[in-house]
């Protein structure tokens, strides 16, 4: 199984999932066999500056991906992925390593269809869901900032 991740950097499993799959600077591909990571490779996003509808989903499907993960993904992109046999996961945040562990453990929920997602965005309570999602993102960003501060301190030799 191959997992594709929109990523903000090119650090493989230590990369952070990018918010927007189509405009991310890199894609990280993780090949899993059984409960083991067999291969990890990172490629620059060929459509980071501009791309045509469906171009990035075709690119990711062409790499053999079975699932794609990103912080945000529009309904059209989700439909493209579904047509290409790639399961899209939006609303994902954190380090790729952590998400891969969840996939291996079977803890990843199947995303709703883009039609269902579209209908849910018009229901009451959307604001509450958005607030909860933003709270999770803030917690994640605090963790990332703490890790970056630690790296800076190490580099400065303090």
pLDDT of 12 above 80 = yes
pLDDT of 67 above 90 = yes
Return d(Cα 34, Cα 29) in angstroms, integer.
Answer: 16
Helices (H), 5-125: 55-62, 75-83, 96-105, 114-120
Helices (H), 91-125: 96-105, 114-120
Q: How confident is the model over 93-126, as pLDDT tens digits? A: 889 999 999 999 887 764 444 444 444 444 445 5
CA 20 vs CA 9, 97, 149: distances in Å: 13, 19, 25
Report if pTM > 0.75. Answer: no
Return d(Cα 130, Cα 121) in angstroms, integer.
Answer: 10
- pLDDT band, residue 75 (cuts 50/70/90): confident
The CATH class of the 2-111 domain is alpha beta
- pLDDT band, residue 146 (cuts 50/70/90): low
């Amino acid at each position: 199984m191959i997992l594709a991740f929109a990523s903000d950097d090119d650090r493989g499993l230590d990369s952070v999932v990018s918010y927007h799959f189509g405009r991310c600077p890199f894609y990280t591909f993780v090949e899993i066999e059984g409960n083991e990571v067999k291969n990890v490779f990172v490629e620059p996003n060929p459509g980071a500056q501009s791309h045509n509808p469906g171009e990035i989903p075709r690119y990711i499907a062409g790499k053999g991906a079975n699932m794609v993960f990103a912080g945000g993904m529009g309904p059209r992109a989700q439909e493209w992925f579904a047509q290409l046999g790639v399961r899209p996961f939006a609303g994902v945040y954190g380090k790729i390593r952590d998400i891969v562990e969840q996939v291996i453990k079977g803890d990843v929920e199947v995303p709703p269809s883009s039609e269902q997602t579209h209908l849910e965005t018009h229901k009451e309570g959307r604001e509450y869901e958005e607030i909860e999602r933003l709270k999770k993102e803030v917690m994640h960003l605090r963790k990332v900032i703490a890790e970056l501060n630690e790296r800076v301190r190490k580099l400065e030799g303090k």
